[in-house]
Every structure is written in C-alpha cells, then in structure tokens.
Amino acid sequence: MPKLGVNIDHIATIREARKVREPDPIAAASLCELAGADGITAHLREDRRHMQERDIRLLRQTVTTHLNLEMAPTVEMLQFAIDVLPDMVTLVPEKREELTTEGGLDVAGKIEDITRMVNSLHKHDVAVSLFVDAELHQIKAAVRTGARFIELHTGQYASAYDFGEGNEWEEELVKLDNMAQVAQKSGLMVNAGHGLNYRNVGPIAEIKGLWELNIGHSIIGRAVLVGLDRAVRDMVALLRD
Ligand code: PXP
C-alpha cells in the first residue's frame, strides 16, 4: 500500500480568502496525522496565495510524520528550505497565473540547475523529489540529477478518468505504470499525485512499488462536508483495500 501524504494547502486557501487566522493549517496537519496520514505536504508558492512562511516553519516544529515542502526551483526557495529543513523537498514548476500546478518540471531542460539544487539539499540531509510527467527523457534526467525520488504527475490520468472518453484513462494509467517501473529499476523511489480523488485513486494505488501518493483537493473538499478526520480515514481505507 502506498503511503498517504495529505496536501493541506487548501486549508490555508480558506484562511487567506479572509486574511484572518482560521482555519489554521497547523491544526489541520495534526488532525490528518491523527487520522492516519503518513505525511503532510505543503506548497509555499512565490505569490504566497495560500501557505505562508510562518506555516511551514510551524509545520516543521509540529509535524511528527513526514513534512514534504513543495516549491519552485529558485534560489530564494532553496535558501528558505535550507533554513527550515523539511524532511523532503518536491521541486515543482510554478506559474503565477495557474490555478494549480499544471505540468511536470522540465528536468531535462534544466539539468544543471536542478542537479546543483539536489546536491545542496542533500548536503543538509533533505531528501529531494522531482515532480515530472510520465516521460522517459524526464525520468532519465531525474536519475542524472542524483535525486532519490520522483513524483509522477497524475493530472492527465485523473482528468481522463473523471471527464475523458473511452479508455483514455487506461492509456494514461499504462504510461504511469511503465514509467514507475522504469524509474524504480533505475533506483528511484516513486511518488505520484495531482488530481487524485476517491473515485480514481484505486488503479494508481495498485501500481507496484509506489512509495507515496500526495492528495489535497479531494480530501479537503470532502472534509468540508464530513470533517477532516473522516475524509482522511476514508482515503486511508481506500489505499489499504
Ligand atoms: N503533487 C503536487 C506536486 C502538487 O503540486 C499538488 C497540488 O498542489 C498535489 C500533488 C496535490 O494535488 P491535488 O490537490 O489535485 O490532490
């Protein structure tokens, strides 16, 4: 069974809608852990639209499972990560105008910069994961950077499953499965995430050897209706089954 990392950005999104103090993502992270989450993921974006630096610093002190900081590969963010020392950094591409991360990182196109960043983080004992599309040249490039993890972008699979036609989702699943196996054979640990929900997570959770799934929107969306504890427990139960 893959581990479950809960992305709690949307708790901060609700807080930032009013620029007030609640709901506090720090409290949410504790509830997720009590409900069985194996880790907490948070994305500190350049525009600080949801998570704030204060959140990540406090999460570092309070998360007892595993803290995964998603961030853009910039010098400013690298300095912040080295100051805070999360357990893992996941490098993601970032565009100001996007609603959410839209695609994988072009590791192949920025291999030198990313390798330097991986080395700096490793020197501080921070594991590094690279968020990539299920494409062979990106996996090969990820291996060359020395990163120990990749996170496969499941966004296309998820939208094909939820809104696509015919067996489009199965084709996306085969691609993800093949690249997960290639990556593992090359020595990488493989995470996956983006767009996963209670309907479409099953086939992804069955991919052999996956280490962790990072899931945010669907869990927090369900939590608004049934409570965070139940929403996390429902997802943990699905992964176990
Ligand atoms: N993984 C990465 C790299 C992401 O950027 C996100 C969204 O912040 C997620 C996983 C979680 O995606 P979702 O909110 O669609 O579950």
**What tens digit of pLDDT does each residue of 179-201 get?**
999 999 999 999 999 999 999 99
Catalytic residue of the set 10, 33, 43, 50 = 43
Structural domain that includes position 116: 3-240
CATH number at 183 reads 3.20.20.70
* 98 CA distance to ligand 1 middle (Å): 13
pLDDT more than 70, % of the chain: 100
Strands (E), 139-180: 149-153
> Is residue 5 pLDDT above 90, yes or no?
yes
Angle subtended by helix axes 136-145 and 111-123, to nearest 10: 40
| Residue 234 identity | D
pTM exceeding the 0.85 threshold for the entire prediction: yes
* 147 CA distance to ligand 1 middle (Å): 19
> Is residue 241 pLDDT above 90, yes or no?
no
Mean pLDDT of 118-127: 98
- 175-180, Cβ contacts within 8 angstroms, sequence gap of 24 or more: 175/134, 176/134, 176/152, 176/204, 176/207, 177/207, 177/208, 178/134, 179/134, 179/135, 179/136, 179/139, 179/152, 180/134, 180/152, 180/207, 180/208, 180/209, 180/210
Q: 50 an active-site residue? A: no
Q: How far apart are CA 13 and CA 50, in angstroms?
A: 5
- Domains in the chain, number: 1
Mean pLDDT of 141-155: 98
- According to the model, what pLDDT value does residue 98 have? 72
- DSSP state at residue 141: H
Burial class (CB in 10 A: 0-12, 13-18, 19+), 196: buried
- According to the model, what pLDDT value does residue 209 have? 98
**Banded model confidence at residue 49, pLDDT cuts 50, 70, 90:** very high
What confidence tens digit (pLDDT) does each residue in 77-88 have? 999 999 999 999
